[in-house]
With several copies, the nearest count.
Chain A
Amino acid sequence: MARVVVDVMLKPEILDPQGQAVQRALPRLGFDGIADVRQGKRFELEVEGPVDDAALARIRELAQTFLANTVIEDFAVKVEEKQ
C-alpha cells in the first residue's frame, strides 16, 4: 500500500490566528528567531493499488473539491517514499 500526503495550508493572504497564537507563544517558551508560523492540515491517504498518474490525478481532484476549500486554502499532493 502506498501513502499519498495532501498538505492543505491557508492562502498566504488569509489571517491564520492559530499560527499566530503559536508564534506569539514562542518567546515565552524561550524560542526566538522564528519569523512566522503558519498552521495547516496534513492528510495521509493509504492508497490501494498503484499510485500512477491516473491515481494522482484523482487524488488531486479530491483535494481540489473536498480536502481543501480553494476559496481560502492551497494544497499540495505528494507521494511518500516507503521507509
Chain B
Amino acid sequence: MTLDTVKHAEQTSDTPQPWAELGLKQDEYDRIREILDRRPTGAELAMYSVMWSEHCSYKSSKVHLRQFGEKAPQTDALLVGIGENAGVVDVGQGYAVTFKIESHNHPSYVEPYQGAATGVGGIVRDILAMGARPVAVMDPLRFGAADHPDTKRVLPGVVAGVGGYGNCLGLPNIGGEVVFDACYQGNPLVNALCIGVMKHEDIHLAKASGAGNKVILYGARTGGDGIGGVSVLASETFDDSKPTKRPAVQVGDPFQEKLLIECTLEIFREDLVDGIQDLGGAGLSCATSELASAGSGGMRVELDTVPLRDATLSPEEILMSESQERMCAIVEPGKVERFLEICEKWDVIATVIGEVTDGDRLEIFWHGEQIVDVPPRTVAHEGPVYERPYARPDWQDALQADDANALPRPAGGDELRAAALALISSPNQASKAWVTDQYDRFVQGNTVLAQPEDSGMIRIDESTNLGVAVATDGNGRYAKLDPYTGAQLALAEAYRNVAASGATPLAVSDCLNFGSPEDPDVMWQFAEACRALADGCLELGTPVTGGNVSLYNQTGDTAIHPTPVVAVLGVIDDVTRRTPIAFAEEGQLLYLLGD
C-alpha cells in the first residue's frame, strides 16, 4: 500500500477519488482542487469531507443562523458569543457560566445506550473546553409512540445511556423532557445540555497561537470508532482489498471522561494551556483545523505519534476517528513537562503530536512524509454555504384550518370523565419518574431545584448563594402548525419557567431538530423557526449564545415535526429566595397572571 503523499498527489492529478462516497458534491470537490491547486491527498479529502458535512459546516443552516448575531440584543452579559464551543455569560461576582445544548439523534436510534451516552460525553467536553467545571446536565428527549415495540428498545436504552454516563461523571441531572409522538418513531430526538461554571479569567478559547507552542493530544487512545464512511478511502485509493470493517458506533467510557475533566481542570488551575479544543464529531480533523484556523500561525502535526487502540488504522482513519474522551491542547514548551505530569497523575495518556508554526498552513506528516498541506480556514471556517430554496408548504393552510373546534365534544358526564381520564393518563402527561429516578440529581451537593420543578437550579457559590437556573422546552406539534409561533412559544415557555423559579433570564441556547434541508417545506420551517427565535430573543433581551442544528431527521420521506428545543439560562443572586412549584403552607393565595 503506497502512502498518498502531497508529492504523490501533485504527480497523479488525474487519479479518480471517491469524493461522492464521502458525501461531497461535484462542485465541492472541484472547489477543494481549486483551493489546493491539485487533487487532494486521501487524508486531505477525508478532512474536507467531514468538515464540509452538514453536521460540521452548517452549510444549509448558516444563512439563517446569522440572524442570531445580527438581531442580537444589546447586553453586557455576553462574554463569549456564538462561534466558540459554547457561549459564555457573565453572572456576576466574577463568575461566568457557559451552557449549550446538542443533539445525538441518529446515533441514539442505531445504538440507544451508546448513542445517548456519547451525546452526554460530547456536550460535557464542549463545556470543559471553555475552561469551565461542568456542574449539571439536562436531557430533552423525544420518542415514538409509547406503546410501539421499538420504543421499548429505544427509550430504556437512551435513558440508561444518559444516566449511565452522566451519573458516572458526577453531574447532577436537573431537568429535561420526555415527549412521545409517532413522528419520532424512526428518529428519536436525544438532546443533551450541559452547564459549566468558571471565573472570568479562566475562559479558554479554541485557537492555536505562538510559533513553537506544542500541540498535545490527551485522553483516550484513538480507535476505529465512527469511521465507517472513510473506510472507502483506505480501500479504493490505496489498496484493492475490501474495505476493512470499522465500527460506526462510538462507545463511551465515562470513567475516562471523569479523569479527563479533573485532569483538565487542574491544568487550567495551573494556567498551562494557551488554546484548547475537545475532539468531537470529526475528531482530529476538526480539532487541528479549527485550532489552526482560529489562531494566528500554522500547525504541523506528526500523525504517527497519535496513540492508537488499533494499530492497523490508516492515517485517513486516524484523522476521522470519532473515538470519545479526547482533547487537544496548545501548550508553551516550558509548560509541557508540568502538563504531562498532571496527565500522569490522573492516569490520562498525553502525547505531543505537533507544534504551532509561523506559517499559515496546516501540515500533517506520517512517518516523515507529508500527507496534508492545506490552509486551515478553508477546512474549518470557509466551507460551502447554501441558500437552499424554501417555501411555505401548500398543506399549511389546511393544517391550520383543521383545528380542535372540528373535534367531537364529550357529551354528558361519562364521556367527559373518560376524556379527562384519557388525558391525564396519556404518556405525555404521566409522571416521568421512571426516567428521572435513574438520574442522580444530588451529586456535587449544589442542586437547589430539580425534578419535578419547572426549571433546574444550581448553586454556584457556597458563600454568597449565587445560583443559576435553566429550563428547556419545545413543542413540535405547535411548531408544525406554525413554525414561527411554535418556536417563540418554546422560547417563551423556557423563559417563563426560569422566571417563575425566581431567576432572571439572561441567555438562550437552542437545538434545532428538523427534517431534510433539501425539502423546501422543511427548509421553510427551519427558516421560520430561526427568524422567530432571533426576533423573540431581541424582544426579550436575551441573546442566543450557541446551540446546535440537527437536520435530516426523517424516516424515508417523512420528516419529524419541526422541533426547536430552547434552553434559557437565568441568574439568581441568592438561591434561598428560589420559588419551588409546590404550595409551601396552608392559606397561601393563588393568583393568575397574564390573560
Contacts and interface: CB of A to CB of B under 8 A. Distances in A.
Chains A and B are bound partners = yes
Interface of A: 10-11, 13-15, 17, 20-21, 24, 69, 71-72
B323 interface: yes
Given A14-B249, A72-B111, 16 more contacts: A11-B247, A13-B223, A13-B245, A13-B310, A15-B223, A15-B225, A15-B309, A15-B323, A17-B251, A17-B256, A20-B253, A21-B255, A72-B114, A72-B247, A72-B249, A72-B251
Nearest to B245: A13
B111 A71 contact: yes
B261 to A, nearest CB: 16
Contacts of A72: 111, 114, 247, 249, 251
Contacts of B310: 13
Contact of A17 (B224, B225, B247, B255): B255
Nearest to B220: A15
B246 interface: yes
Contacts, number: 34
Given A14-B249, A15-B253, A21-B255, A69 B309 contact: no
Contacts of B415: none
Given A21-B255, A24-B347, A13 B111 contact: no
A52 B253 CA distance: 35
Contacts of B385: none
A17 B256 CA distance: 8
Nearest to B111: A71
B110 interface: yes
Given A71-B111, A72-B111, A14 B255 contact: no
Interface string B196-211: 0000000000000000
A18 B245 CA distance: 23
Contact of B110 (A11, A13, A71): A71
A13 B246 contact: yes
A72 B225 CA distance: 11
Contacts of B220: 15
A55 to B, nearest CB: 25
In the A-B complex, the 9 residue pairs with the closest CB atoms? A17-B253, A15-B251, A71-B111, A13-B224, A13-B247, A14-B247, A14-B251, A72-B249, A15-B223
18 contacts: A13-B246, A13-B247, A15-B223, A15-B251, A15-B253, A15-B309, A15-B323, A17-B251, A17-B253, A17-B255, A17-B256, A20-B253, A21-B255, A69-B111, A71-B110, A71-B111, A72-B114, A72-B249
